[in-house]
């Protein structure tokens, strides 16, 4: 699938998400200021930057976990500025978090099935009475969960408790659960934090597979090798503002970016 969509000539139809002068203040502390970038559809867009740059705050705003102090955000052609998390989700946006958030006591398959809850059609009464529509709904949920697990390579552990999986597999499980919401835009907050090469390379390959399937992915990462391997474009944030945006190899080697990371 071609990913040669350039922001300077992208139309609204080409753009999955667009931020214009987004700012966020916490009391007298300005965490984000005038953050602007566009994310073309069916691409992997990286967001990099040193600790404390405001990256997770930005993802929170994009997914309805907090309100901006200024600026505008669009998801596709919808002005989604300050939508809450439910309204953002209904626009086809899903995310994972920096810290793994799984439900203890549920199997791998049950974790993914939980992600499809918003799409279930059976009523509470139907569930209580065990009506045919409820059983049909359950079969479809199980089928979707199994499809997502196969996609991320976890079919063999579908019946295991999620907390027994390795760290890398738990990360893939979180992505599978997010995919069960049937998103058009997936946001990942440091999906390879703390991983060695054996763990993060499969995640990078999974992101490339998602892009090839037409999904748009925004990934916040410190792992420069992952960003260079699979991102089509990277924006670097430092002190709450975008200091560089370009294709990964060029962007991550700019003097301003190196100073932000290494102080020189």
Domain ranges of the chain: 1-92+183-264, 101-182
For position 132, what pLDDT does the model report? 61
**Three-state secondary-structure class, residue 79:** strand
- Common-topology check for domains 1-92+183-264 and 101-182: yes
> How many Å apart are CA 4 and CA 128, to the nearest integer?
51
pTM of the model: 0.87
For position 2, what pLDDT does the model report? 34
CA angle 87-238-244, nearest 5°? Answer: 90
Which CATH architecture group holds 1-92+183-264?
3-Layer(aba) Sandwich (3.40)
- Pairing between strand 233-238 and 44-48? parallel
- Do residues 257 and 244 make contact, with C-beta atoms less than 8 angstroms apart? yes
CATH number for the domain formed by residue range(s) 101-182? 3.40.50.300
pLDDT in tens, the chain (264 residues): 333 333 333 445 699 999 999 999 998 899 999 999 999 999 999 999 998 899 999 999 999 999 999 999 999 999 999 999 999 999 999 999 988 889 889 999 999 998 877 655 555 545 555 556 665 777 888 899 999 999 999 999 999 999 999 999 999 999 999 999 999 999 999 999 888 888 899 999 999 999 999 999 999 999 999 999 999 999 999 999 999 999 999 999 999 999 888 775
> How many Å apart are CA 96 and CA 252, to the nearest integer?
24
Please report the sign of the dihedral spanned by the C-alpha atoms of residue 242, residue 37, residue 118, residue 136: negative
- The residues near 194 (Cβ < 8 Å, ≥ 6 apart) are 167
């Amino acid at each position: 699938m071609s990913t040669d969509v350039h922001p300077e000539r992208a139309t609204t139809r080409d753009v999955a998400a667009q931020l214009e002068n987004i700012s966020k203040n916490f009391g007298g502390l300005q965490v984000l200021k005038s953050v602007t970038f566009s994310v073309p559809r069916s691409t992997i867009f990286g967001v990099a930057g040193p600790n404390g740059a405001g990256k997770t705050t930005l993802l929170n705003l994009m997914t309805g976990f907090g309100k901006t102090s200024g600026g505008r955000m669009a998801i596709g052609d919808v002005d989604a500025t300050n939508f809450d998390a439910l309204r953002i989700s209904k626009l086809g946006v899903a995310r994972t978090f920096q810290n793994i958030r799984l439900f203890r006591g549920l199997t791998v398959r049950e974790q993914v099935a939980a992600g499809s809850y918003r799409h279930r059609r059976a009523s509470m009464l139907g569930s209580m009475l065990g009506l045919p529509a409820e059983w049909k709904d359950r079969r479809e949920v199980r089928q979707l969960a199994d499809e997502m697990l196969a996609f991320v390579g976890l079919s063999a552990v579908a019946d295991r408790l999620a907390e027994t999986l390795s760290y890398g597999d738990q990360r893939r499980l979180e992505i599978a659960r997010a995919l069960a919401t049937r998103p058009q835009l997936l946001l990942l907050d440091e999906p390879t934090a703390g991983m060695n090469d054996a763990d993060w390379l499969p995640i990078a390959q999974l992101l490339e597979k998602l892009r090839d399937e037409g999904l748009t992915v925004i990934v916040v990462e410190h792992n420069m090798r992952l960003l260079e391997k699979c991102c089509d474009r990277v924006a670097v944030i430092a002190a709450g503002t975008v200091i560089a945006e370009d294709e990964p190899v060029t962007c991550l080697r700019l003097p301003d970016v190196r100073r932000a990371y290494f102080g020189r």
